[in-house]
Structure 1
Amino acid sequence: MRKLPKPNDNSKEVFLECISNIRKKEFKERLELCADEIAAAVNDYDDKKNNNKLHRIRSTDNIAGIVSNEEMKNLYNNKLVGKKGPGRKYYDKLIASAKNGICPICGHREVSTLDHYLSKMKYPLFAVALINLIPACKDCNFTKGEYEFNNEKGATIHPYYDEIDNVIWLNAKLKEEDDIVFIFEVLKPKGWNDLLYERVKNHFKIFDLNKLYSVQAAVEFEGMKRMLIKIYQRSGEEEVRNHLKECLESYEYVNLNSWKCGMYRALIESEWFYSDWLERYLE
């Protein structure tokens, strides 16, 4: 869930470039007739998203009654994604915009595809609109599928428009069992309105991020627990906390709301972790 720079390429020029090498004259002419409508729709998309009204854009199965959603899907696959397509440079540019190659939707896995924020099959006007194409990992793209929303509370976070990583909102806590289990959740920071809070929670649910983060944290902790036990046996609780705080500080410098930050905060703040779990390992 990371902010990305919004593409500023001219939407009409992008579309015309994508269709530039189509050989079927009749098909190309139909597409050219849609160019102005697509450009106007992209401007409307931008305006509505800036004003939390994107849900008012209605789905359709064609453009102007002359180009079908299936044709726009094929245009995307062949002319923008296809390695020899004239629009491939835009695909590569979007993929490269993800910081460190990490999916901005989950903040963890590697970017390998583009996700249509509004489905290309239900919103064909935006099939090759760059502001509707989000660099993503395959898992997030598959999990979201053809997801639609009819109000802004149901919308997921849009990396080109939503800035949420300037404050801490990701929380983790320990499930007090023999094995350390991390549970992740969204907390509402000061300054957030109810709409943003509901959207972040919805995003967290749609992409099943608690499961992803919990599994990763469990694996990470398994690799570090022996070291923490030794520090505790040698120097006590305070030294363990100091070590965890130093690790947290390093990860917060990169991303305040990574699952690693949530994991370290949970360990630092859990009295049970020190008074019960680590206490078992005193010699």
Structure 2
Amino acid sequence: MYKVEWSEEMEILIGPYHDFICEVLKFVNEEPKFIVKQDSDTSVLKKKMQTMVKEESNIYSFFEVAIRTNLKEYICELKYEGINLLDQYNEFVDNYENFLSLEWNANITYSKQVTEAFEYFYTDLIHGKIFNDLIGESNAIKEFRERITLESTCPYCDIHDMEFDIASIDHFIPKARYPLLAIYPKNLVVACSACNDRIKKEKLYLPIIHPYFNNLDDYFCFTYKNNVIEFEFLDHISVGDREKVENFFKLFNIEKRYNRYCQKKLKRLKEEIQRNVIKLIKSSKDITIGEIESNIREEICEQYNYILKEKKIDPLTKLRLDYLKQMSKEDLSDLSLYIANENSYKPIAFGMN
């Protein structure tokens, strides 16, 4: 629901994945080149790497990883493709945001071998000790998930706290459909398991906003009327941006989830405001409806400032802040009368002493 700032810490942890892919795909384009598969190809490739490791001119940092893992077998498979995967990868990365905005079309089909190789990179390689000891930070992908989940809510829904054990890493552009982005750092978003594993899965609707590039809060506000939570676009939002937000809401089923699970949060918030005002005026003997309303507005302001401090930390801050803004603009005379009745006395006429 809120933008996730791409921090220096995040770059240190998983930024090296991008350089790793570029190195691997650069080497795939170089000798030895395999045309017809032979059983000896992997051995030939391994010997080539072992030789190059000893050379002062060697520019590759992943050879030891490849020699000691199954990476060398997958590099062999990529060499058989006979296409420049490095160019395809760099073009996609350069146009990542344009792809999300439908301003660039990734008109690429991937073989089973390419899909399996990049699935291996994400599922096995980057989680392994050998890779993490030699490339980047130790256990970087786990550390990335842990750091993001500390005092944070899901950037997709803002409904759930992201505890480490129930958060997962989402491929915003699904790796099953676009495997070249399987470990591209800015395609990896830590989210709650509800959004990633049960709702989004492999779906994607374009054009769409992305939490690393956009702050959803800037585009709309929630409203709560007649026991229905809806969202309204801010006046300055363009038609194109509206479509991006609507697709985001559709992808994560936001409206349905909010109306099913989040209305009680607003009811409790209103009840808390009522209780606090009742406590505040309990000892007052003479008070006007106008004064009660003034106390309500002060309490709304206090609640707003308190929740604002917990933005991105406590769940549903966007919903609650928007609801308080809505309340502050409404006629609160009925609520004032309700509080007066709850306080068991007849207030002096509205606005008069």
Q: 8 Å contact 1:232–1:278 — kept in the other structure?
A: no
Q: Which residue of 1 aligns with 2:255?
A: 210
TM-score between the two structures when normalised by the length of structure 1 = 0.75
2:20 aligned to which of 14, 19, 25: 14
Superposed displacement of residue 253, structure 1: 5.0
Summarize deviations over 1:113-162 as a string: whole Å, max 9, x none. 1111111111111112112111111111031111133x42xx2x212222
The reply to whether residue 131 of structure 1 matches residue 189 of structure 2 is no
Q: 1:116 to 1:232 in 2, by over 3 A?
A: same
Task: Specify the code of the residue in structure 1 equivalent to 2:172.
Answer: Y
Corresponding residue for 1:240?
Answer: 296
Three-state SS of the structure 2 residue aligned to 1:100 is coil
Q: Write the distance in 1 (CA, Å) between the matches of 2:272 and 2:107.
A: 55
- Aligned residue identity for 1:251: I
Q: Which runs of 4+ in 1 moved over 6 A?
A: none
Q: Deviations over 1:224-249 (max 9, x none)?
A: 61551561583622211210122113
Once structures 1 and 2 are overlaid, which stretch shifts more, 223-232 or 131-140? 223-232
- Mapping 1:33-182, distance limit 5 Å: 37=84, 39-51=86-98, 52-53=101-102, 56-58=105-107, 60-62=109-111, 67-80=113-126, 82=127, 84=129, 86=131, 88-93=139-144, 96-97=147-148, 100-111=151-162, 112-142=167-197, 143-149=199-205, 151-152=206-207, 155=208, 157-165=209-217, 167=218, 169-175=220-226, 181=227
| CA shift in 2, pair 1:163/1:42, >3 Å | farther
C-alpha contact (below 8 Å) 2:74/2:117 kept by paired residues: no
- Equivalent AA in structure 2 for residue 22 of structure 1: T
Which SS does the other structure have where 1:265 is aligned? Answer: helix
The answer to whether structure 1 residue 2 and structure 2 residue 2 are counterparts is yes
Once residues 144 and 202 of structure 1 are traced to their aligned partners in structure 2, the CA distance between those partners, rounded to angstroms, is 12
Moved more, 97-106 or 201-210: 97-106
Query: Judging changes above 3 Å, is the alpha-carbon distance between structure 1 residues 186 and 133 closer, same or farther for their aligned structure 2 residues?
Result: farther
Inter-partner Cα distance in structure 2 for 1:38 and 1:128 = 15
**Post-superposition offset of 1:97:** 4.1
1:159 aligned partner, one-letter code: P
User: Aligned equivalents of 2:73 and 2:93: distance in 1?
Assistant: 31
Alignment RMSD: 3.5
Displacement of 1:185 after TM fit? Answer: 0.8
Does the Cα contact within 8 Å between 1:12 and 1:39 map onto a contact in 2? no
Please list, as runs of the form range in 1=range in 2, the aligned pairs for 1:190-229 lying within 5 A after superposition: 190=236, 192-214=237-259, 215-219=261-265, 221-222=267-268, 225=271, 228-229=274-275
Contact 1:217 1:259 in 2 (8 A): no
Provide the identity percentage. Answer: 18
Tell me if the contact between 1:103 and 1:110 (Cα under 8 Å) persists in the aligned partners. yes
Q: Is the 8 A contact 1:119 1:146 kept in 2?
A: yes
For residues 238-275 of structure 1, give each alpha carbon's deviation from its aligned partner in whole angstroms, at most 9, with x where no partner exists: 2112101221133335549712212322333343xx34
Instruction: Structure 1: state its 5+ residue gaps.
Output: 176-180
Secondary structure at 1:60 match in 2? coil
Question: What CA distance in whole angstroms lies between the structure 1 residues aligned with 2:297 and 2:125?
Answer: 54
C-alpha distance in structure 2 between counterparts of 1:14 and 1:91, whole Å:
18
2:195 partner letter? C
Paired letter, 2:230: F
Shift of 1:42: 4.2
User: Structure 1's 168 and 242: CA in aligned 2 closer, same or farther, altered over 3 A?
Assistant: farther
Q: Deviations over 1:40-99 (max 9, x none)?
A: 44432343234434661146342xx7x24244324312223x364725414532552467
2:328 maps to 1:268: yes
Q: Which residue is 1:178 aligned to?
A: none
Q: Does structure 2 conserve the Cα–Cα contact (< 8 Å) formed by 1:248 and 1:261? A: yes
Measure, in 2, the Cα distance between the counterparts of 1:38 and 1:93.
27
What is the match of residue 184 of structure 1? 230
SS at match of 1:120: coil
Are 1:279 and 2:337 matched, yes or no?
yes
The alignment of Structure 1 onto Structure 2 pairs a total of residues equal to: 265
Whether the 8 Å contact between 1:11 and 1:129 is mirrored in structure 2 is: yes
State the partner residue of 2:40: none
Name the structure 1 match of 2:77.
Answer: 30
TM-score under structure 2 length normalisation: 0.62
CA–CA distance in structure 2, aligned partners of residues 255 and 212 of structure 1: 20
Distance 1:164 1:219, change over 3 A: closer
